[in-house]
Amino acid sequence: MSGAATPFAGTRLTLDLWHPNCWAIEATERAGGGVLAHAIYTAPTAGEAVNGLFTAYGDSEREVEALLGAVRESSYAGEVQELQTRFGGNTEDAAPGNVVREFFLEYDPGDMICPTLLEHGFVHSAPVRIEAGREYWQVCFAGERSDIESRLERVREEGPAEVCVSRITATDTAATERQHRTGTLTAAQREVFEHAREQGYYEWPRQASTRELAADLGVSKTTLLEHLRKAEAKLLDP
C-alpha cells in the first residue's frame, strides 16, 4: 500500500504583463474601469474565433458603458453579447468595481497569451484582471523556483510580451483575508487606500491628513474620502 501523496510544492506568482493585439488591453488603455476574463466556452478550431465570458467593471454606469464602447471599437474584438442575467455564479462579489456587466465576446485565439504561458509551465489559477492597459495573471509554476526567470524570458520572446513578477509566494502559503479583500477594490480605491496606509493615516497619532493625501494624489478631498470610505467598507466589514 502506497504512502500519502506528496503535497504539491510549486510557486504562485502574480504576473503583470502586456502583449500586442489584445482588445482588453487596448480598451482599458482608452477607458477607465477594467475587465475580468473568466473562461473560453467554444473550443478553437483552425481559422475560427472563440467565445469568452468576461466581466466589465467600474466605479459607475458611465465608466462601464464607456469601457464597453471601447471594447466594441477595438479591431481585435468581435461581437459583444451582453448578458441580462448572471452567468456561472455571482461575479459581482468577485469583480472589484461598484458596477459590473457580464458579456460574451468573440475573438481570435491566436491573440491569446495563455497558450505561451502554459507551454512554459505557468498555469493560471484565477480570472485574469485587465486594467489600464495591463493584464494581471495569478499563476502556479510547478518547476524549480530557480527556473522561473528563464521560463519568463522565453514567454517574453515568444509571446511577444512584456512580463514582470509583482508577487511570488510558495503554494502552501494561504492568501490572507486582507489580500483577498484587497482584490475586490477598484484601481482608484486600492491606490488611495495603499497611499493612506503608507503615509501613516491609520497610525496613532495620524501621520497624514486627508487634505495632504488628496494633494499627494492630485484629487479633491471629497473624491479621496469617497474612495477611501468605499475601500474601508470592503476591507473592514465582516
d(CA 63, CA 190): 17
Please state the rounded mean pLDDT for residues 214-238.
84
| pLDDT grade for 181, boundaries at 50, 70 and 90 | low
Both 115 and 131 in one domain: the answer is yes
Contact 199, 213 (CB under 8 A): yes
Domain count along the chain: 2
Domain of 84 in residue numbering reads as 11-170
Domain annotation covers residue 132: yes
Domain annotation covers residue 4: no
CATH number of the domain that residue 184 is part of: 1.10.10
Last residue of a domain, one of 136, 152, 170: 170
Both 164 and 182 in one domain: the answer is no
**Strands, DSSP E only, in the chain?**
11-18, 34-40, 50-58, 77-82, 99-107, 122-124, 128-131, 134-141, 162-170
Both 59 and 157 in one domain: the answer is yes
128-131 and 134-141 as β-strands: parallel, antiparallel, unpaired? antiparallel
What are the two backbone dihedrals, phi and then psi, of residue 36, each rounded to the nearest 5 degrees? -105, 130
Both 152 and 117 in one domain: the answer is yes
Last residue of a domain, one of 170, 187, 207: 170
Both 120 and 31 in one domain: the answer is yes
Look at residue 120 in the predicted model and tell me its pLDDT: 93
pTM of the entire structure? Answer: 0.69
Domain annotation covers residue 3: no
Contact 216, 195 (CB under 8 A): yes
Q: Omega into 160 within 30° of 0, i.e. cis?
A: yes
Cα 22 vs. chain centroid, distance in angstroms? 15
Last residue of a domain, one of 121, 152, 170: 170
- What would the pLDDT profile of 112-169 be if each residue is shown by its tens digit? 898 899 999 998 888 899 999 999 998 999 888 889 999 999 999 999 999 999 888 7
Q: Residue 16 pairs with which residues in a beta bridge?
A: 136, 164
- What would the pLDDT profile of 32-71 be if each residue is shown by its tens digit? 899 999 877 655 555 578 888 999 999 889 999 999 999 9
